[in-house]
Amino acid sequence: MNSLRTVLRIFVIAIAAVLALPLLPAGVAFGHGSAIGPPSRHYGCWDRWGSDFQNPDMATEDPMCWQAWQSDTNAMWNWNGLYRESVDGDHQAVIPDGQLCSGGRTGGGRYAALDEPGPWEAAPVNNQFTFRTHDQARHGADYYRLYVTRQGFDPLTDELGWGDLQLVADTGVIPPGEGTPENDPVLNGVTVSINVNAPGRTGRHIVYMIWQASHFDQTFYSCSDVVFPG
């Protein structure tokens, strides 16, 4: 009898502990991060329309975000979760041409709409600029690698492939927690700033980020649309 009471007591304590855990809203990812300046496609769509994502004006004012929201709203709610595991540094083998912005259609194809060419909202930058990426969970990095599309690539009509990119920055190791703290409660992590030099570019381009997080073999990817002078 005593043993039965002991088992029942343990069971009640276990149930109470589970009920005491905080509940997360459906579709909300644990904090990881993404590019915020120039913003990644998914972060930018969430930042501009997250509080007004059912507004029909998005269809004409921001048509690429509109098609992305219609395709899968969770891609924007989970703007900080576009990553793959177990890539082991072999990015080109894992991610096919035409699927770079979605990380090879990671998340069961959740981010597929990000691969669509078209008039994504683009941030004006100079040929030398600072790229800002947010490490929401303070993972640190084995490296950030930044690429810019070669002159002649047209983001309005061309699918992005590995042959379209030129490496412009490679940070090497960044320790966990290093960066500028953000007071914005939505971000609430650290922002890493990376100097970029992309000479010879004019007009529309894509900045492609590969962020190899240092805590696990998790690799984050993003496309940021920019406009160079000229």
User: Chain-centre distance of CA 28, in angstroms?
Assistant: 14
* Total number of domains in the chain: 1
Give the Cα separation of 224 and 202 in Å (integer): 16
Please give the C-alpha separations between residue 150 and each of 145, 159, 164, 175, 220, in angstroms, as whole numbers.
Answer: 16, 13, 6, 31, 22
The whole-number pLDDT of residue 215 equals: 75
Query: Is 222 within the bounds of a domain?
Result: yes
Query: Is 4 within the bounds of a domain?
Result: no
Give the Cα separation of 53 and 69 in Å (integer): 7
Give the Cα separation of 34 and 209 in Å (integer): 9
pTM of the model: 0.86
Q: Tell me if 151 sits within 8 A of 200, measured CB to CB.
A: yes
Q: Which residues of 116-148 are buried (b: 16+ CB within 10 A; e: fewer)?
A: bbeebbbeebeeebebbbbbbbbbbbbbbbbbb
Query: Is 5 within the bounds of a domain?
Result: no
Query: Is 164 within the bounds of a domain?
Result: yes
Query: Is 20 within the bounds of a domain?
Result: no
Give the Cα separation of 224 and 148 in Å (integer): 10
22: preceding bond cis by omega (within 30 degrees): no
Tell me the residue range of the domain where 161 lies: 30-228
Give the Cα separation of 162 and 97 in Å (integer): 6
For the chain, 230 residues long, give each residue's pLDDT as a single digit of tens.
444 433 334 333 333 333 333 333 333 334 589 999 999 999 999 999 999 999 999 999 999 999 999 999 999 999 999 999 999 999 999 999 999 999 999 999 999 999 999 999 999 999 999 999 999 989 999 999 999 999 999 999 999 999 999 999 999 999 999 999 998 888 989 999 999 999 999 999 999 999 999 877 899 999 999 999 98
The whole-number pLDDT of residue 17 equals: 31
Query: Is 105 within the bounds of a domain?
Result: yes
Query: Is 60 within the bounds of a domain?
Result: yes
Q: What is the CATH number of the domain that holds 217?
A: 2.70.50.50
Query: Is 94 within the bounds of a domain?
Result: yes
